[in-house]
Amino acid sequence: MAEILIVEDHAPFRETLAELLEDAGYVVRTATNGLEALDAFSEKRPGLVLLDVMMPGRDGYTVCAEMRAKDPLVPILMLTAKNAEHDRVHGLQRGADDYIDKTVGTQELLARIGAALRRTGAIAACAPARPPSLGASFMIGAHRVDGVRHRLVDARGREQAIVPREVKILKYLAERAGETVSREALIEFLWNGEYAGTTRSIDQAIWRLREKLGTDGRKIVTVHGAGYSYRP
C-alpha cells in the first residue's frame, strides 16, 4: 500500500487519522508542522499528503506550494476546518488536488484518498520511459518549449523545468491555435481514457502553466463552459 504523510499539529486528530489509515492498510508518517513536513517530504516522497491548513510557522497553503514546486504529481489533499469558498479556491490554486472538510465521514475520506492514488497510478502507467517524441521545440508566445529537455525558455534565455505532461498540454494547444479545446479532450489525450478523476486536474495544470509563462500565459484563454484556447 502507499505511504501517506499526515501533516497536522493537533495531536489527538493526527493520531486518530494515523490509526484510521494504518487500519486501512496504508503506511503512515506524520509531521506536526510545516517545517517537519517539508523535511519529511524532501527526505522521501510519500504516495500522498494529507495537509492541515492552520499550523504554527508555515501554514498549509505555503507548504502545499513548496511541495508542489518539488513534485508536480504527488497528490496533496488539504484537510481543514476552513471551508469557505475562498479558502477552498486558495488551496486549489496553491496546488492541492482536493480540499476536504475535517468533518468528512471516514468512508468518504478513504474513498477520496483511494481516488487520488488511482489518478497517480494512471499517470504513472501512461508516462513514457523516455522523453516523449514531441519535437525538438515549439513556441508559445515568446517562450520556446524544449520538448526533449523539458525546459521552458524565455526570450532572455532563462530556463524553467517543466514536466512531460506540461509539454504535452502546450503542444496540444499550440497545434490547435485559435481552436477551443475541451477539458475532456485534454484528458483523453493525456491519459488515453484511463483517468478516474475529474477535470479539476486540467484546470490546475493550466493554472500552473500560466504562472510559468508569465504574460504569455494570457494567451491560453479560458472559454467558459467549453475549455481552453491558445491564441497567439
- Any domain includes 60: yes
Whether 53 and 8 have beta carbons less than 8 Å apart is answered as: no
- Residue-wise pLDDT for 13-62, tens only, equals 899 999 999 988 899 999 999 999 999 998 888 999 999 988 888 888 88
Rounded Cα distance between 154 and 150, Å, is 13
Q: Indicate the number of domains in the chain.
A: 2
Same-domain check for residues 78 and 162: no
- Any domain includes 132: no
Same-domain check for residues 147 and 209: yes
Same-domain check for residues 120 and 141: no
- Domain boundary residue, one of 95, 126, 157: 126
pLDDT band for position 84 (50/70/90)?
low
- Domain boundary residue, one of 126, 147, 178: 126
Whether 164 and 232 have beta carbons less than 8 Å apart is answered as: no
Rounded Cα distance between 32 and 88, Å, is 22
Same-domain check for residues 160 and 194: yes
Task: Give the global pTM.
Answer: 0.54
- CATH code assigned at 181: 1.10.10.10
Residue-number span of the structural domain to which 106 is assigned: 3-126
Rounded Cα distance between 156 and 27, Å, is 46
Same-domain check for residues 37 and 148: no
Same-domain check for residues 121 and 141: no
- Residue-wise pLDDT for 157-193, tens only, equals 888 888 888 888 999 999 899 999 998 888 888 877 6
- CATH code assigned at 51: 3.40.50.2300
Same-domain check for residues 16 and 120: yes
Same-domain check for residues 96 and 188: no
Q: Is the pLDDT of residue 151 over 50?
A: yes
Across 53-67, 69-83, 192-206, least confident range: 192-206
- Domain boundary residue, one of 105, 126, 147: 126
Handedness of CA 107, 200, 80, 12 (dihedral sign): positive
